[in-house]
């Protein structure tokens, strides 16, 4: 997987140098163009996890950006309106993720989303303590984290 990623990055730099356009969009276009070229070259050969992980990472990042924008709008609305609609609380979220990297990714994504903050992980790494501004339904909040961030992180790490 490392070789394919490094090849993709190298080919992206070659693409950017040949086109002479050093914009972010051209880097992104070159990366996806070379990703597909590498995929076409290796079709029928041994299975490479690189071609399965990159789309999952992109889906995770798009989902994170969606949640980030949604949470920013909710918090901004809370700040602008005179009446407080918050129902804050600390929730114990059971974890299916077992690796330190996965738990760290989940905790950071939760903390980067406005209105939520990862507080601590239990010593046995089975529970993540999360403070949230809006906890009207505890089970729905836990389900949102498990079906959202945690499921997508598990897909990337598996």
Dihedrals phi, psi of 48, to nearest 5 degrees: -115, 130
Q: Are residues 34 and 58 in the same domain?
A: no
Distance CA(142)–CA(129), nearest Å, equals 11
- H/E stretch holding 57: helix 50-80
| Same domain, yes or no: 36 and 55 | no
User: Taking the model in full, what pTM does it have?
Assistant: 0.77
Same domain, 7 and 28: yes
Range of the domain at 19: 2-42
* Cβ count near 126 (within 10 Å): 13
Tell me: do 64 and 26 sit in the same domain: no
Residue 45 has pLDDT above 70, yes or no: no
**Rounded Cα distance, 115 and 110, in Å:** 9
The number of folded domains in the chain is: 2
**What's the pLDDT tens digit per position in 91-117?**
999 999 999 999 999 999 999 999 999
Say whether both 38 and 60 belong to one domain.
Answer: no
Question: Alpha-carbon distance 100 to 102, whole Å?
Answer: 5
What does the pLDDT average to over 70-90?
A: 90
């Amino acid at each position: 997987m490392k070789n394919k990623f490094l090849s993709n990055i190298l080919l992206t730099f070659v693409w950017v140098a040949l086109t002479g356009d050093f914009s972010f969009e051209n880097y992104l276009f070159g990366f996806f163009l070379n990703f597909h070229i590498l995929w076409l070259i290796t079709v029928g050969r041994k299975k490479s996890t690189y071609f399965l992980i990159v789309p999952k990472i992109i889906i995770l990042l798009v989902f994170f950006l969606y949640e980030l924008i949604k949470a920013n709008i909710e918090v901004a609305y809370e700040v602008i309106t005179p009446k407080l609609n918050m129902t804050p609380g600390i929730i114990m979220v059971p974890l299916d993720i077992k690796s330190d990297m996965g738990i760290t990714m989940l905790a950071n994504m939760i903390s980067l989303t406005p209105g939520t903050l990862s507080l601590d992980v239990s010593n046995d790494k089975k529970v993540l303590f999360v403070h949230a501004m809006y906890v009207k339904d505890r089970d729905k909040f836990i389900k949102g984290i498990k079906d959202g961030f945690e499921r997508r992180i598990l897909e990337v790490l598996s």
